[in-house]
Amino acid sequence: MTRIDALLAAGQTTSFEFFPPKSEAERATLEKTISNLEPLRPSFVSVTYRGGRESRQRTYDLVTAMADRGIFTPMAHLICVAHTRAELEEILESYLASGIVNLMALGGDAPTHPDAIIGELTYASELVALARSVGAFSIGVAAHPDGHPRSPSMAADRDRLAEKLSMADFAVTQMLFEADRWSALVEDLHERGVDKPVLPGIMPVTTLGAVDRMAQMGSVVPTWLVERLQRAHAEGGDVAVRAAGIDLATDLCSELLQRGVPGLHFYTLNLSTATREITERLATR
């Protein structure tokens, strides 16, 4: 299987993120999305994972199915909370046995179910180290342009990110809305002696309702962008909001590419229209 670190070494990448379907309806939606995005020939795709045996199996099934069909180069997400070290080793070994070598190593949120297992690993850096001991994975980690919500300070966040990224191969940011935030993050890492590729995560804001949802996920939409969408809504309703969101995301991607980002990573939410529009527009610029 193609390694993502090798793809990044060869040039700029384009990648998409999906989540495993929980129902037949979601499965049908994802299949349609995959069919629509396949002609764009992404460098790789990632598949999310929330923890627990059912979610673990859904991620494994989707990643291995993509690999078997040869349609995409897949990367499996894995979180270390709610798993024992032995379970994590089992998961990692099962991926290697299936030929899956691309891994996104995440800490994850602490489980809230009273019967949930309390994991032996706490931080993504520990999971990176464990994966390195198991086999030759190409490993990505998450980066937070505005700092992780649980970090006591920006400096502490950057120190922790530099620590884990020094062991990993690349990072993917949470949803990013301003090119300057990517540049500042990369500069902070450079000052700490880390120059691994950092892929900006892109998700257009196409509804006003998405602003609050993104904030809940730890990605605060800038005030100027919200005001731009509100003006669009006043002028043309929901259709105008969507059009403005696509325009803004396209402009952001164009600026990021001009700044020399190693690639663009699109959060698709298992839908294809917005991602397809943005990538097709970029191809004509």
User: Per the structure block, which two tokens stand in for 209?
Assistant: 């309702």
CA distance 221 to 198: 20
CA distance 235 to 191: 45
Are 29 and 280 within 8 A, CB to CB? Answer: no
User: Is 90 one of the annotated active-site residues of the chain?
Assistant: no
Q: Count the Cβ atoms, other than its own, within 10 Å of residue 158.
A: 22
> What three-state secondary structure class fits 4?
helix
Are 111 and 84 within 8 A, CB to CB? Answer: no
For 196-239, the DSSP string reads: --EEEEE----STHHHHHHHHTT-PPPHHHHHHHHHHHHHHHHH
Which position among 17, 38, 178, 277 bears the catalytic label?
Answer: 17
Dihedral over alpha carbons 49, 33, 177, 264 (to 10 degrees): 80
Q: Is the dihedral of CA 34, 109, 124, 60 positive or negative?
A: negative
13 phi, psi to nearest 5 deg: -115, 160
Closest CA to 46 of 26, 25, 22, 66: 66
- What are the residue numbers of the active site? 17
